[in-house]
Amino acid sequence: MSDSAPSRSKTPPLPPWRSALARALHRNRSRPYSRYFQLATITPAGRPANRTVVFRGWLPDTNSLTLITDQRSAKVTDIAAHPWAEACWYFTSTREQFRLAGPSQVVSAADLTLAPARQTAWAELSDRARQQFYWPQPAQPRSPAAAFAPPENQPENQPETPPDNFSLVLLTPRQVDHLELRGDPQNRTLYTCQPDDTWQVEAVNP
């Protein structure tokens, strides 16, 4: 091994859309909702579902976006039935949109391989966000206020110990469609993952 080939060269290069997305996140960072995007899935009944989620960063050493979910959330059964999902991420300040499509996966308490990532995501939540995982069953008739009361009798609300219903969701893009509205005409770039895991980049008409 020569000096000119250090061991870190084994790390595969970031796909080209990562830098465009990193730039958008940076340039829109003053607006907290720039970390929100809309995740579309397909329900077991075959209908589209769409909701706002919060980007929780990258799964380390991968190109998978992470978000969190309650295991009781409908998106868990959606993903089990139809793993392919599409995120639509619009940045209001720079007026650009990323559509990120690929397989998604739920990392539940039963997943031992990714337990560290799940643990880290739990530890990084605010107390208030953690509390939601102790709320009563989502989408059921509204429970009395006491059912939402903070811990005391919930000593398990600890940064160290995620509850069983706390899960990660991973989305691993295989296609990215980046549209910049500010161009005249607008700029649009398609990134497509090839079978050999390299990325094809193409400027297309908006």
Question: What one-character DSSP code corresponds to residue 20?
Answer: H
Phi, then psi, of 91 in degrees rounded to 5: -105, 115
Q: Given the complex with its own copies, which of 99 and 130 has the nearer CB atom?
A: 99
Residue 83 to residue 110: CA distance in whole angstroms: 18
Q: Given the complex with its own copies, which of 99 and 118 has the nearer CB atom?
A: 99
Interface residues toward its own copies, by CB under 8 A: 31, 33, 36, 38-42, 46-52, 82, 84-88, 90, 92, 97, 99, 101, 132, 135-143, 145, 148, 185, 188, 190, 202-206
Minimum CB separation from its own copies for residue 26, in Å?
19
Residue 98 to residue 21: CA distance in whole angstroms: 8
Pair of tokens at residue 35: 């970390």
Minimum CB separation from its own copies for residue 170, in Å?
16
Minimum CB separation from its own copies for residue 146, in Å?
11
Q: Given the complex with its own copies, which of 9 and 192 has the nearer CB atom?
A: 192
Q: Given the complex with its own copies, which of 116 and 150 has the nearer CB atom?
A: 150
Task: Return the residue matching tokens 């893009």.
Answer: 173
Q: Given the complex with its own copies, which of 114 and 190 has the nearer CB atom?
A: 190
Minimum CB separation from its own copies for residue 46, in Å?
7
Asked whether 125 and 88 are in contact (CB, 8 A), the reply is: no
Minimum CB separation from its own copies for residue 14, in Å?
24
Pairs from 125-133 (Cβ < 8 Å, separation ≥ 24)? 125/68, 127/157, 130/157, 130/159, 131/157, 132/70, 133/70, 133/162, 133/163, 133/165, 133/166
